[in-house]
Copies of this chain bind each other. A is one copy, B any other.
Amino acid sequence: MARSAKLRRPATLASLAAELGVSRTTVSNAYNRPDQLSPELRQRVLETARQLGYPGPDPVARSLRTRQAGAVGLLFTEALSYAFRDPAAVGFLEGLALGCEEAGQGLLMVPASPEADHAHTAAAVHRAAVDGFVVYSVPDDDPHFAAVQQRPLPLVVCDQPILEGVDHVGIDDRGAMAGLGGHLIELGHRRVGVICMRLGRDRNDGLVEVARQHAAHFHVQRARLAGLQDAFGPEEWSAVRVVERFDHTVESGASAAAQLLDHDPGLSALAATSDILALGALEELRRRGLRVPEDVTVTGFDGIPEAERIGLTTVRQPVREKGRAASRLLLERAEGRCRSISLPTELMIGQTSGPAKVADAPWFSGL
């Protein structure tokens, strides 16, 4: 009997109940509310379940009935491969995963299908069985993000613009970068080259006009560039060359640095909007035999471990805390809605920034 049931089709709570001659409720209770039935019966249920190969209540059916999935959905930067290579993104993921784990919630990474597949672009978002969404650093016009907003679920965005009625966590990218810019100015840097990550969903490796800077689809990059502009002032900023790279890699940073230096060998500083890119700039400078910071100053942003190890001047941001904050906001939603958390940053002055070498005032370099 038991065998045939096993062979015919997977055992269910109902078939198990029938086999035992008890009600479904009782079997359900055996798993979910041990105090609701006698220990002996419970043992018998569990024992029979094992014999029949019943693996316990089906998670999906349970979710349907209880109206909770026990998981949080994560919409990550579309280009997954780069996301995992960005220590800041990984740090965020770590914090978020930790927060979810502590709450016993799963973390579902929602697949972002390629743009090409127009009709089904956001299908995965609609298919995700989750109790809420965290959206991390997607471009403003991302169709997946739009789909997420359509679902009637709690939502937290991170490293994105503050949106009406949507919980938010982030840092003051603009202010922090302005602080770093101020540091450069204090050191006398005026001929500065800037390296930034991609500003839109399209690949655009090269110089960036001010218009494109302001129209950037990625909030974080837009804000950081604006911060530098704040520090330098509009007129000086218009003379600053900004180079964009689609791929967020050390090699990209190197090639961007090369492009800037080829254009103006007299640059006294290279400011990158991420540490990864700054590492690439350092590599390129080493290749060219230029000393840091004696010949050229280099700065980054993020405060990744490797940057810290080599003493890069950068802004340290609490990436893990961002993840934790996001999970908290999502999971502990109780009081008045629409909260916005801005975490503190720290300007880390390392060994890669120094006084600008002023060509026509050599004595100045000693400052």
Within 8 A of B (CB), among A70-100: 70-71, 80-81, 84-85, 90-91, 93-94, 97-98, 100
A71 touches B108 (CB 8 A): yes
A207 to B22, CA, bound (A): 56
A106 touches B109 (CB 8 A): yes
Query: What is the interface size of chain A, counting residues whose CB is below 8 A from a CB of the partner?
Result: 52
A64 surroundings in chain B (CB, below 8 A) = 58, 60-61, 64
A111 to B150, CA, bound (A): 27
- Which of B10, B58, B91, B106 is the one whose CB lies under 8 Å from A111? B106
A100 surroundings in chain B (CB, below 8 A) = 109, 111
A104 surroundings in chain B (CB, below 8 A) = 111, 113, 120, 123-124
Asked if A107 is at the interface (CB within 8 A of a chain B CB), the reply is yes
Asked if A261 is at the interface (CB within 8 A of a chain B CB), the reply is no
A309 to B287, CA, bound (A): 13
A124 surroundings in chain B (CB, below 8 A) = 70, 104, 106
A128 to B72, CA, bound (A): 12
A153 → chain B closest CB, angstroms: 9
Within 8 A of B (CB), among A83-141: 84-85, 90-91, 93-94, 97-98, 100-101, 103-113, 120, 123-124, 126-129
A80 to B103, CA, bound (A): 14
Given contacts A71-B108, A106-B124, contact A63 B129 (CB under 8 A): yes
Asked if A293 is at the interface (CB within 8 A of a chain B CB), the reply is no
Asked if A152 is at the interface (CB within 8 A of a chain B CB), the reply is yes
Asked if A21 is at the interface (CB within 8 A of a chain B CB), the reply is no
A57 to B100, CA, bound (A): 26
Asked if A346 is at the interface (CB within 8 A of a chain B CB), the reply is no
A106 surroundings in chain B (CB, below 8 A) = 108-111, 124, 127-128
A97 to B89, CA, bound (A): 14
A55 to B80, CA, bound (A): 26
- Which of B111, B113, B126, B250 is the one whose CB lies under 8 Å from A305? B250
Q: Which residue of B is nearest A111, CB measured? A: B101
Asked if A59 is at the interface (CB within 8 A of a chain B CB), the reply is yes
Given contacts A80-B94, A80-B101, A124-B104, contact A60 B109 (CB under 8 A): no
A150 to B59, CA, bound (A): 14
B90 touches A55 (CB 8 A): no
B108 touches A107 (CB 8 A): yes
A84 touches B108 (CB 8 A): no
A94 touches B85 (CB 8 A): yes
A110 surroundings in chain B (CB, below 8 A) = 106
- Which of B60, B94, B108 is the one whose CB lies under 8 Å from A81? B94
Interface residues of A (CB under 8 A from B): 10, 53, 55-64, 69-71, 80-81, 84-85, 90-91, 93-94, 97-98, 100-101, 103-113, 120, 123-124, 126-129, 150-152, 250, 305-306, 309
In the complex, the 9 A-B pairs of residues with the closest C-beta atoms, listed nearest first: A84-B94, A101-B111, A107-B109, A59-B129, A60-B63, A108-B108, A60-B64, A60-B129, A70-B127
Extra inter-chain contacts (6) besides given A70-B127, A101-B113, A306-B306, CB under 8 Å? A59-B128, A80-B97, A80-B98, A84-B94, A129-B129, A250-B305
10 pairs, A vs B, C-beta closer than 8 Å: A53-B152, A60-B60, A70-B127, A81-B94, A100-B109, A101-B112, A106-B110, A106-B124, A107-B108, A107-B109
